[in-house]
Structure formats: structure tokens, C-alpha cells
């Protein structure tokens, strides 16, 4: 089985004439269509809003596309807050979900009136000390233990550093109520990159039940429930993608079953998706520059883990297409590598691919989220350009490639 790139070999050959590889390229048409499908899937909820996770792809031109599609932004740091503000997102369009948060980040979040999502009960006093307590605030809930769908363990929230315990949620809401909070939010994240239509509805039902309990225990008004991220993408070609319309309908049923009978039919549903919103709509485009024949067969690319860290960090699978050879037999076994002085700098290990020749254009799929964003400068390697394939088929550079001068800019030499 294979995946089809959203760009052709002929298009890439023209792009490479102006923008040498490696680079990340994004599909504007796919991004917009996917955002509209999400909004349609949750249109039943009057207050629904998607807060795109900036950390997934922190590029202003991408963020502006989401703004045009009615989305807000989820931020986790000062610079992400600053970028969101400069891109024209204001107030309730920005969710600040951070942890181990420095004082100046809370202060800036309050300055731009972002909605703060507290990660720990001790942060209530800290926020009060360094800034002030807003009238609308959210708390992140961690139920502990393991999270399962049927007989499959999906993740282990109890080992996660994020969120408040169930008892702390009650205590926090009561304390915040005393401090003048008028509107409350809840947030939770139980599993990463699920390719299962039951994840969001199951998470929603858990949160909805806790929300009803919290309302009864504390008397507060819960304005929104944020289902966070976790809706994933099929990295391997044999996986079936999530159906966001089925997911939205599953959440609706849980909403009608749990919240509406409790008199909470005005609660807004928020999401904070990154990977689902952008992952499939980005490719890392590289050129094969070396082949090596030792104990194994290696193909060396002009990109490295600097450009895509996930395979090195997690052993993550990213599908590879050799452009122009899509219909050739995959009868060669390769390790596809970068040039870092680290043996884990491999995009693929023992991957069956068509015969690759020096100069072949290589597309690495599903890099739209947590691709460029996780890059770094180890070995003095420089980060690549980012290119937008626009809806009309033209391309536009939305981030230039780094230069040695950028690398030296923070040094006094």
C-alpha cells in the first residue's frame, strides 16, 4: 500500500529551481477543507471552537489560514502567545495551556486577555501573586490511572505530569469562585494520536460527567469543556483515518445524554487539535545525495533529524515516496538517513522502496504537524525553508531557510 503526495514530481522540479531542498511544503487547499469538515462536524454545538495547537506548526501564514477558517489558537509559551497576538488573534481566540509556567508568561497572557488553562492547583496562588485572577478561567483535569478503549490501553494519564486530580478540581473551582471567577472551563488530554473514532466521544463522556458533578458540588457555571487534542492521523498507509463527522456525532450523543439533562445544554465544546488539522497536509521534500553499501544499504538525504525529529526521537513511521517511481516495485531494502553525527538520524530502517538513485526527489509524508516545529541546530545544521502550495497551484515561501549568519546571531565572535 502507498500514500499519494499532494504535489507532483513536475511541480517539485519547478519549485526546486527556486527553493533548493530540503524544505517543508504545505497544502493550503487540504488544510482549509479539513478545517471546514471539523467545523461542520461540531456545528450542532453553538459555541464550538477549534483552537489550533501552535506548537504543531508555528508559522504565521499557517495561523492566518486557520483564523480565516474561524479557528482560535492554543498556546503553551510566551513566544507562541506573542505570535498569536501579532497575527491578529485576540482575547477569547487564544487559549493558554501551559505547565511549569514562568511569571512573565502568565503576565503576558493576562495582558492580551487570553483564556488561561491552569495545569496545577498551586498555580492559583501563583497567578494571583504575579498577575490577577480573571473572571473566566479553566482547569486541566487528569483522572489518573490508565485510559482504555475496550480492551486496548491507549495511554497512561497517571504517569503524565499534566493536570489536577479529581479532588483538586473541586477544591480549585471553589477557591477560584471565592476569588471572583464567574465562568469556568474544563480541559483534559488522555491519549496521543489516536486513530479511533471512539476516543473523543469516550473522553467527552468522562469530562461531561465530571462537569455535572463539579456544578453540583460547587455551584459554578461551566462555560466550556475543552476536549484538547489526541485525534490522530494514519501515518502508515494501512491505517484507516478518523472520520471527524462520526466523531462529532459521538460527542453530540454524549452531550445530549449527560449534559442536557443536567441543565448544562449551554456548554461550549472546544478542541485543540494540531496533528489532525495539519499533519497530512505537509511533506518534507529532500534529494537523495549519497548511497552507501556496507553491512546494509543506505540512502543519504540532504535533510536530517534537524528537519524531522520524530523518527529519531520516537522511532516514528513516516511514509516515503520516491517521486517518479511510484509504480516501480519496492524491491530494495534501505536505511534512509540524514547526516547528523548520531546513529538514530534515520528516516526509515529496513524500508522496502524502489531503487533510489542519486538526484531522486524524496517526499516524506505527514510532516505538517510536529515536523519543522521540532527542529533544532545540532551539529550546526540549519533549519529548512517552509513553502505554501496555494489553492491556485502557485507556491509562496512562508519561511526562508536559515543561514550561517542566523546561527551565529546570538554569539559574540
Model pLDDT for residues 39-69, shown as the tens digit of each residue: 999 999 999 999 999 999 999 999 999 999 9
28-277 maps to which CATH number? 3.20.20.10
Query: Quick one: pLDDT at residue 191?
Result: 83
Residue 152 pLDDT level (bands cut at 50, 70, 90)? low
144 membership: H or E segment, kind and range: none
Q: How far is CA 143 from the centre of its chain?
A: 22
Distance CA 289, CA 84 (A): 38
Q: What is the mean pLDDT of residues 291-318?
A: 97
Query: Quick one: pLDDT at residue 86?
Result: 97
Q: Are residues 175 and 221 in contact, defined by beta-carbon separation less than 8 angstroms?
A: no
Residue 145 pLDDT level (bands cut at 50, 70, 90)? confident
Query: Quick one: pLDDT at residue 32?
Result: 98
Query: Quick one: pLDDT at residue 218?
Result: 98
β-strand 183-187 against 221-226: which pairing, if any? parallel
Query: Quick one: pLDDT at residue 153?
Result: 61
Is 330 assigned a catalytic role?
no
Q: Phi and psi at residue 18, in whole multiples of 5°?
A: -100, -35
Cell 517511481 -> residue: 325
- Distance, first Cα to last Cα, the chain: 52
Q: What is the three-class DSSP state of 257?
A: helix
Query: Quick one: pLDDT at residue 190?
Result: 83
> What are the domain boundaries of the chain?
9-25+280-408, 28-277
43-52, 182-191, 291-300: segment of lowest average pLDDT: 182-191
Angle subtended at Cα 28 by Cα 311 and Cα 19, rounded to the nearest 5 degrees? 65
From the list 71, 87, 330, 341, the catalytic residue is 341
Query: Quick one: pLDDT at residue 155?
Result: 63
What pTM was computed for the model? 0.95
- Cα dihedral 364, 366, 370, 374, rounded to 10, equals 0
Question: Each residue of 315-335: pLDDT tens digit?
Answer: 999 999 999 999 999 999 999
Query: Quick one: pLDDT at residue 413?
Result: 82
Question: Each residue of 358-404: pLDDT tens digit?
Answer: 999 999 999 999 999 999 999 999 999 999 999 999 999 999 999 99
Q: Are residues 186 and 141 in contact, defined by beta-carbon separation less than 8 angstroms?
A: yes
Q: Do 9-25+280-408 and 28-277 come out as alike in CATH topology?
A: no
β-strand 115-118 against 297-301: which pairing, if any? unpaired
9-25+280-408 maps to which CATH number? 2.40.37.10
At 387, list the grid cell: 513553502
Q: Phi and psi at residue 67, in whole multiples of 5°?
A: -60, -40
Query: Quick one: pLDDT at residue 114?
Result: 98
Amino acid at each position: 500500500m502507498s500514500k499519494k503526495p499532494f504535489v507532483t514530481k513536475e511541480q517539485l522540479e519547478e519549485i526546486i529551481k527556486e527553493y533548493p531542498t530540503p524544505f517543508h511544503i504545505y497544502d493550503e487547499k487540504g488544510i482549509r477543507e479539513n478545517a471546514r469538515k471539523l467545523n461542520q462536524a461540531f456545528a450542532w454545538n453553538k459555541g464550538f471552537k477549534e483552537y489550533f495547537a501552535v506548537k504543531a506548526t508555528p508559522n504565521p501564514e499557517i495561523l492566518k489560514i486557520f483564523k480565516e477558517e474561524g479557528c482560535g489558537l492554543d498556546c503553551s509559551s510566551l513566544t507562541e502567545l506573542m505570535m498569536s497576538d501579532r497575527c491578529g488573534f485576540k482575547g477569547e481566540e487564544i487559549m493558554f495551556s501551559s505547565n511549569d509556567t514562568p511569571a512573565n508568561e502568565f503576565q503576558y497572557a493576562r495582558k492580551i486577555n487570553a483564556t488561561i488553562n491552569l495545569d496545577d492547583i498551586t498555580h492559583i496562588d501563583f497567578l494571583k501573586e504575579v498577575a490577577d485572577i480573571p473572571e473566566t478561567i479553566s482547569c486541566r483535569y487528569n483522572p489518573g490511572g490508565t485510559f482504555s478503549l475496550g480492551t486496548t490501553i491507549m495511554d497512561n494519564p497517571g504517569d503524565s505530569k499534566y493536570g489536577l486530580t479529581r479532588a483538586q478540581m473541586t477544591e480549585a473551582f471553589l477557591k477560584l469562585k471565592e476569588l471572583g471567577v464567574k465562568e469556568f472551563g474544563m480541559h483534559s488530554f488522555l491519549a496521543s494520536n489516536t486513530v479511533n473514532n471512539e476516543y473523543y466521544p469516550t473522553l467527552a463522556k468522562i469530562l461531561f460527567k465530571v462537569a455535572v458533578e463539579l456544578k453540583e458540588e460547587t455551584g459554578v457555571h461551566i462555560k466550556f469543556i475543552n476536549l484538547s487534542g489526541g485525534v490522530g492521523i494514519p501515518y502508515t498507509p494501512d491505517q484507516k483515518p478518523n472520520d471527524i463527522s462520526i466523531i462529532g456525532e459521538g460527542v453530540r450523543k454524549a452531550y445530549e445524554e449527560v449534559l442536557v439533562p443536567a441543565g448544562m445544554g449551554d456548554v461550549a465544546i472546544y478542541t485543540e487539535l494540531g496533528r489532525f488539522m495539519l499533519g497530512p497536509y505537509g511533506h518534507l521534500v529532500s534529494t537523495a545525495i549519497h548511497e552507501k553499501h556496507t553491512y546494509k544499504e543506505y540512502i543519504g538525504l540532504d535533510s536530517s533529524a534537524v528537519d524531522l525529529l520524530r523518527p529519531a526521537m520516537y522511532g516514528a513511521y513516516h511514509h516515503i515516496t520516491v517521486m517518479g517511481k511510484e509504480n516501480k516495485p519496492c524491491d530494495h531494502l534501505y536505511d534512509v538517513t540524514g547526516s547528523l553525527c548520531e546513529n538514530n538520524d534515520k528516516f526509515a530502517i529496513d524500508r522496502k522502496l524502489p531503487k533510489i538513485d542519486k538526484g531522486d526527489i524524496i517526499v516524506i509524508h505527514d510532516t505538517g504537524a510536529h515536523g519543522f516545529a521540532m527542529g533544532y541546530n545540532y551539529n550546526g545544521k540549519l533549519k529548512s525553508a517552509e513553502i505554501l502550495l496555494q489553492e491556485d497551484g502557485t507556491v509562496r515561501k512562508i519561511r526562508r531557510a536559515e543561514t550561517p549568519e542566523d546561527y551565529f546571531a546570538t554569539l559574540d565572535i
